[in-house]
């Protein structure tokens, strides 16, 4: 009886293995991976063109391409074998991603890449190809409506109370936009921090402010850490 049960279990195992292998199509898999790669490149292009953050991360952009293909590969494996799908769900449930997202829009690109990978892996190639230009076009449209001038912090220290008005008027003439961030009193000196967006990249007004009577320090600092005195 033990021998009969062993034979039956072996037959069932072989039958399940052969059926799962027969359901696997190399041609369809290559097409799915190929389309996911092309869509990943499209996402790569859209991210590079629409990026408006502080520091562009090339490695993150490349990871979007690979994430699209890896997601498609996972879905191809899941759809070809029910047993494998249960095991893969259990394995992925213990994975924790702790990388900090610097820009909120990066989350949109992550979900976009994963969604396209799922569609390619599931064989819904028309939907994947239709959704890519629609989402990409909307992201480009919204990015064009943003102000792409680089933000800077103008930091000025002075001991003459009348100098603040002169500093503000001089900066207003040379920048596209100006906004007060903070004003601090350091003993007899006052530190003024203004957020400015440069007009055609002209930084000569910083030297003009630094030469004003009563001004002891003037610097222009971008949000990514670059310094210009």
| pLDDT tens digits, 31-47 | 989 999 999 999 999 99
Which tens digit of pLDDT belongs to each residue from 136-176?
999 888 887 655 566 788 889 888 878 888 888 888 887 87
- Determine the Cα–Cα distance for residues 132 and 11; give it in Å rounded to an integer: 45
pTM over 0.75: no
Residues 223, 226: Cα–Cα separation, whole Å? 7
- The CATH number given to 151-228 is 3.30.70.260
Predicted pLDDT of residue 8: 55
Which parts of the chain have pLDDT scores under 70?
Answer: 1-24, 53-55, 80-102, 145-150, 199-201, 223-229
Give residue 229's pLDDT.
Answer: 46
**pLDDT score, position 159:** 86
Residue 128 is predicted with a pLDDT of 92
Q: Phi and psi for 191 in degrees, rounded to 5? A: -105, 125
Q: What are phi and psi of 145, to 5 degrees?
A: -85, -5
Per-domain residue ranges for the chain?
Answer: 2-144, 151-228
Element (H, E) at 90: helix 82-92
| pLDDT for the residue 19 | 52
Residue-level pLDDT at 47: 92
Burial annotation 111-138 (CB, 10 A radius, 16+ → b, else e): ebbbbbbbbbbbbebeebbebbeebbee
């Amino acid at each position: 009886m033990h021998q009969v049960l062993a034979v039956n279990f072996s037959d069932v195992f072989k039958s399940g293995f052969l059926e799962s292998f027969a359901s696997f199509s190399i041609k369809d898999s290559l097409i799915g991976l190929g389309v996911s790669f092309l869509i990943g490149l499209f996402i790569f292009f859209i991210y590079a063109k629409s990026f408006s953050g502080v520091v562009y991360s090339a490695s993150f952009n490349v990871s979007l391409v690979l994430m699209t293909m890896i997601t498609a590969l996972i879905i191809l494996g899941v759809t070809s074998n029910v047993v494998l799908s249960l095991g893969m769900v259990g394995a992925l449930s213990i994975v924790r991603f702790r990388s900090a997202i610097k820009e909120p829009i990066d989350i949109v690109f992550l979900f976009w890449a994963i969604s396209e990978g799922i569609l390619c892996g599931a064989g819904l190639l028309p939907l994947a190809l239709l959704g890519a230009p629609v989402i990409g076009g909307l992201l480009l449209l919204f990015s064009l409506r943003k102000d792409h001038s680089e933000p800077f912090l103008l930091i000025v220290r002075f001991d003459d109370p009348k100098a603040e008005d002169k500093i503000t008027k001089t900066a207003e003439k040379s920048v596209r936009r100006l906004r007060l961030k903070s004003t601090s009193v350091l003993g007899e000196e006052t530190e003024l921090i203004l957020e400015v967006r440069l007009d055609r990249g002209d930084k000569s007004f910083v030297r003009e402010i630094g030469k004003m009577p009563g001004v002891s320090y003037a610097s222009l600092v971008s949000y990514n850490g670059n310094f210009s005195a």
